[in-house]
Amino acid sequence: MDGLSQFGFSSNFVHKLRKQLRLKAAPLKDLSSKASKLRVEDFMQTPSEGEFIEEDAYLDMAVLQLVTGHHISLLVTRDKEILGVLRLTDAFAAIFHTMKECEI
C-alpha cells in the first residue's frame, strides 16, 4: 500500500483504499479463533537435501547454502542425526561479530 504513492496515486486515495481493506478484513477475534484450530502438521514441510549441513562444515559453506537455497535455517547433522538448527540470523551474528573484532 505504501508503494502506491510512487505511482502517482494521491495520499487521499491510498487512505481510502486502506480503509476499505480494513473494513473487509476479518476481525482479530475471528482470526484468533481460526488460528487456534490449525495444526502445525498441516503447514510443515519435509526438509530438502539442501537444508542439511554437517556439524563440521565451515560457516562460509553454510552461508552459501542459506543464500543460494533461499533457506532461513539449516538442520545441522552428524552422521544423518539432527543435532540442531543453524538460523540465518545466527550466521549473520557470527559474521557481524567477527567483522567487529577485525576493527579493533
The total number of structural domains in the chain stands at: 2
pLDDT band, residue 54 (cuts 50/70/90): very high
The secondary structure of the chain in percent helix, strand, coil, rounded to multiples of 5, reads 60, 15, 25
Best-predicted range by mean pLDDT (5-19, 38-52, 65-79): 65-79
How high is the pLDDT of residue 45? 87
Is 15 in the same domain as 56? no
Is 52 in the same domain as 34? no
Separation of CA 79 from chain center? 27
Name the residue range of residue 6's domain.
2-41
Residue 47: in which H helix or E strand, if any?
none
Is 98 in the same domain as 65? yes
Grid cell digits, residue 103? 576493527
Is 61 in the same domain as 75? yes
Is 51 in the same domain as 93? yes
This prediction has a pTM of: 0.62
* Average pLDDT score, the chain: 86
Count helices and strands (H / E) in the chain: 4, 3
Is 55 in the same domain as 99? yes
Interval 31-48 mean pLDDT: 84
